[in-house]
């Protein structure tokens, strides 16, 4: 009996010992590797763009001025409308100028009378002088009076032309075709002299618009080197649209017409360290108006063998930018990187990552340097961001 009890106790102890060993073995088993999404890097030519805030001007913005003083009599246009070259815009009371014209015409008539008398006197003196009936000095005096009368008539005619020109300035015509703005003077205002407005209005030709913006000296050098480094053959092969500028409007929409540079200032402003650049954009629909602000997007550089990684794959720790790379053994490696500019929702990596490496872009909070993971390669959707 005692022998059977000992046998049963022995078996129970063995069962308990085996169960405990199995539990300890299960407890010491490692957890499965963490799944992470990785992005396979590739080398590609990456154009680098930069945006600059600019202001819109008309192809021609012509100020309409009162060239003579007087009371404004009439406005012959609708504010904000399209006017054509030669259209009558303003009229100034012409009566004071008409009086000057009439007075000057009287002086011309008087000068004509004096000239006629001097001519007749000279015609009488010449045959008499030939017969020595009058002295040579009398003939010289008659000739001098004729020449003086001729000069007086010429002066009177010149003064008449001057006052007629002044009278002509009482009607102000549009020098170009374009859009006219809000008038700065109303009928009845005395114009042409401060403090009343000398500039009455502005007409803008907006068939094309000009956008002016500034490049820093560093950016100017970068753009200039990019262009000058190309050979003549490369420039011929370059797609003409590649050098076109894009315009980003105030609502972040992209203007459908591309522009091109038309002017670069002769010098860098020593006060600001910037240089003025002007670009021209077609405006056939009339959407753009002078005074608008817009951003000009231009290509400033090209990374020949650029490596792009998702922005979310890059983390910063104590001023150091880093990514996590999965090696061929599925082990995580922390890698310090040097960043270039942002390209859409990606970072351009200048240094630290090579082509064909797997970069973790999701699940970063679950991993650390040296950890074995289960990488799942996925395509990363590139989202175009026109404002950059």
pLDDT surpassing 80 at residue 23: no
Q: What burial class does residue 252 get, using C-beta atoms within 10 Å of its C-beta: 0-12 exposed, 13-18 middle, 19+ buried?
A: exposed
Instruction: State the pLDDT at residue 186.
Output: 92
Domain 95-168 matching CATH 1.10.287.470: the answer reads yes
User: Do the strands 178-180 and 199-216 form a parallel or antiparallel pair, or are they unpaired?
Assistant: antiparallel
* pLDDT > 90 in the chain, percent: 53
- Position 3 confidence tier, pLDDT thresholds 50, 70, 90: low
pLDDT surpassing 60 at residue 74: yes
Instruction: State the pLDDT at residue 241.
Output: 46
Range in 100-109, 168-177, 277-286, 360-369 with the lowest mean pLDDT: 360-369
Give every CB contact of residue 222 below 8 A, 6+ residues apart in sequence: 300, 301
The listed CATH number (3.30.450.40, 2.40.50.100, 3.20.20.70, 2.130.10.10) that belongs to domain 67-93+170-197: 2.40.50.100
pLDDT surpassing 90 at residue 201: yes
Looking at residues 74-80, what average pLDDT do you find? 94
Q: Locate CATH 1.10.287.470 in the chain.
A: 95-168
The listed CATH number (2.40.420.20, 3.30.465.10, 3.20.20.70, 3.40.640.10) that belongs to domain 34-48+304-377: 2.40.420.20
Query: How confident is the model over 332-370, as pLDDT tens digits?
Result: 999 999 998 888 888 999 999 999 999 998 888 888 888
Query: How confident is the model over 112-141, as pLDDT tens digits?
Result: 999 999 999 888 888 887 888 778 888 888
pLDDT surpassing 70 at residue 255: yes
Q: Locate CATH 2.40.30.170 in the chain.
A: 50-58+207-301
- Position 240 confidence tier, pLDDT thresholds 50, 70, 90: very low
Residue ranges of alpha helices (H) inside the chain are: 2-27, 95-130, 136-168, 217-228, 232-237
Q: Locate CATH 2.40.420.20 in the chain.
A: 34-48+304-377
pLDDT surpassing 60 at residue 27: no
Identify the residue with better confidence: 27 or 80. Answer: 80
Q: How many CB atoms lie within 10 A of CB 113?
A: 12
Half-sphere exposure of 374 (CA within 13 A, CB side): 5
SS3 16: helix
Measured CA distances, 34 to 71, 92, 309, 327 (Å) = 87, 86, 21, 15
Q: What is the mean pLDDT of the chain?
A: 86
At the fourth CATH level, the homologous superfamily of domain 50-58+207-301 is Efflux pump adaptor protein, beta barrel domain (2.40.30.170)
Looking at residues 220-226, what average pLDDT do you find? 79
Looking at residues 289-315, what average pLDDT do you find? 89
């Amino acid at each position: 009996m005692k022998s059977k009890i000992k046998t049963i106790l022995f078996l129970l102890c063995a069962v308990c010992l085996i169960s405990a060993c199995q539990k300890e073995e299960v407890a010491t088993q490692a957890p499965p590797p963490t799944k992470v999404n990785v992005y396979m890097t590739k080398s590609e030519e990456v154009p680098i763009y930069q945006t600059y805030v600019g202001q819109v001007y008309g192809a021609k913005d012509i100020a309409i001025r009162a060239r003579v003083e007087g009371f404004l009599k009439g406005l012959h246009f609708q504010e904000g409308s399209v006017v054509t070259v030669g259209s009558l815009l303003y009229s100034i009371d012409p009566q004071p100028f008409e009086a000057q014209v009439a007075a000057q015409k009287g002086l011309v008539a008087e000068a004509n009378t004096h000239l006629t008398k001097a001519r007749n006197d000279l015609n009488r003196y010449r045959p008499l002088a030939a017969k020595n009936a009058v002295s040579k000095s009398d003939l010289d005096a008659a000739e001098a009076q004729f020449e003086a009368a001729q000069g007086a008539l010429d002066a009177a005619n010149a003064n008449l032309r001057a006052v007629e020109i002044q009278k002509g300035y009482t009607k102000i015509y549009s020098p170009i075709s374009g859009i006219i703005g809000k008038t700065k003077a109303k009928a009845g205002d005395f114009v042409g002299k401060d403090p009343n407005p000398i500039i009455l209005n502005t007409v803008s030709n907006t068939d094309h618009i000009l956008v002016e913006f500034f490049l820093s000296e560093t950016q100017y050098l970068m753009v200039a080197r990019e262009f000058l480094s190309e050979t003549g053959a490369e420039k011929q092969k370059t797609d003409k649209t590649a050098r076109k500028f894009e315009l980003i409007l105030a609502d972040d929409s992209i203007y459908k017409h591309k522009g091109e540079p038309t002017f670069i200032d002769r010098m860098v402003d020593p006060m600001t360290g910037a240089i003025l650049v002007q670009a021209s954009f077609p405006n056939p629909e009339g959407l753009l108006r002078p005074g608008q602000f817009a951003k000009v997007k231009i290509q400033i550089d090209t990374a020949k063998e650029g490596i792009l990684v998702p922005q979310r794959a890059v983390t910063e720790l104590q001023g150091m930018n880093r990514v996590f790379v999965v090696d061929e053994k599925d082990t995580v490696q922390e890698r310090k990187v040097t960043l270039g500019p942002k390209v859409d929702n990606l970072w351009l990596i200048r240094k630290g990552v090579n082509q064909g490496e797997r970069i973790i872009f999701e699940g970063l909070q679950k991993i650390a340097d040296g950890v074995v993971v289960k990488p799942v390669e996925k395509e990363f959707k590139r989202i175009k961001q026109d404002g950059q």
